[in-house]
Structure 1
Amino acid sequence: MKVIIHIAVFILSSLIATAQANTTYHRVDLVKVDKSARVMYLMAGEDVVKQYHIALGASPKGHKVKEGDSKTPEGEYILDYKKEDSQFYRAMHISYPNAKDKARARMLGVDPGGFIMVHGQRNGDRRDAKRRQRFNWTDGCIALTNEQMDEFMALVETGTRIHIEW
């Protein structure tokens, strides 16, 4: 009987080890946003871990310059903190404005704005999220469906770089 138990334990542990070896852990080290295609890529090295269709601000082309321009910033930023108590379903803050953005705004005599997030749908909005994602509806943020936002928050850690381009 002991021999059968030892064989069963050996077989089970071999199966578990094989399953673990075949499971690839992807640590997202970059979030890439292609505003022109309205697509976000979660990257682990050169591998695309996930891809999402996104909604942007109502005037997405070009770099955010000032508060209220409905543009999503372009460039390199950091996803610096998660926000669970937002007016939107979950959110992660983008470190806009950076020093360059602030200097540009100062030179132009405008407020650069801020509080740019990757977030889900507006809390209490009962409209179909997939249909809503066909339109650019944010004030300059990057929107996902709530289901996608749950996945995004699970896969992306604070401190992850985000690269946004047209």
Structure 2
Amino acid sequence: MNLLARLFSALTLVALICAIWVALLPQRPTTPDRLPSDQTTLTGPVDRILIEKSARKMTAFRDGAALKTYRIALGFAPEGDKSQQGDGKTPEGIFRIDRRNDASAYHLSLGIDYPQAEDRARAAAEDIDPGGDIFIHGQPNQLPRGILLPGDWTAGCIAISNAEIGELFAATAIGTEVEIRP
């Protein structure tokens, strides 16, 4: 197993242990950095998703109207645009959902078409790997039901709860626009 895979596995294990420990603590009031998503239920198709990294929120739209807003987790180094494999950044720009995976290592996932041609060209000019496999997904499958990993913990993806990805997955088709802002 390569070093990056071992590091990611170790970080996932540490995050899992922390999540279980946090779940066993007495319930505390919601803090500003862990605000719940809005309580509406997403129904019907989504035609656009807006992700605002600095606000840690994702909003689903249909015909220009906001349908639901979610609290999100990002890559472990979320500041700035993704430039290469392993940098822990979530890419910025306008993308499309290009695949749906109901058998992923995370509870459901919607693939984003990163890297795009300009990302691959830039990476080739710099002789680096631009990375890839960026998804909107739920929590790791090995986590107990209802547990949310705290903070920004992905390798560059956008994570929400399992219940939330379930409703978003059902409402989002391949080709849906995804805009990711700083």
The two structures, once aligned, show a CA RMSD in angstroms of: 1.5
Partner of 1:32: 50
Letter aligned with residue 44 of structure 1: R
SS at match of 2:173: coil
Partner of 1:44: 62
The alignment covers a number of residue pairs equal to: 140
Partner of 2:163: 147
Partner of 1:19: none
1:110 aligned to 110, 113, 128, which one? 128
Partner of 1:136: 152
Relative distance call for 1:67 and 1:162 in structure 2 (3 A) is same
How does the TM-score come out when normalised to structure 2? 0.73
Which structure 1 segments of 5+ residues have no match?
A: 1-24
Partner of 2:105: 87
Q: Percent identity?
A: 39
- Looking at structure 1, the residues matched to 166 and 146 of structure 2 have their Cα atoms a distance apart, in angstroms, of 17
Partner of 2:142: 124
- Looking at structure 2, the residues matched to 92 and 26 of structure 1 have their Cα atoms a distance apart, in angstroms, of 17
Give the greater-gyration-radius structure (CA). 1
**Maintained 8 Å contact 1:26/1:49:** no
Which structure 2 segments of 5+ residues have no match?
A: 1-42
- Looking at structure 1, the residues matched to 97 and 175 of structure 2 have their Cα atoms a distance apart, in angstroms, of 5
Letter aligned with residue 161 of structure 2: T
Letter aligned with residue 113 of structure 1: G
- CA offsets, 1:38-70, max 9 Å, x none? 100001122111110000001001110000000
Alpha-carbon offset, residue 156 of structure 1: 1.1
Letter aligned with residue 153 of structure 2: W
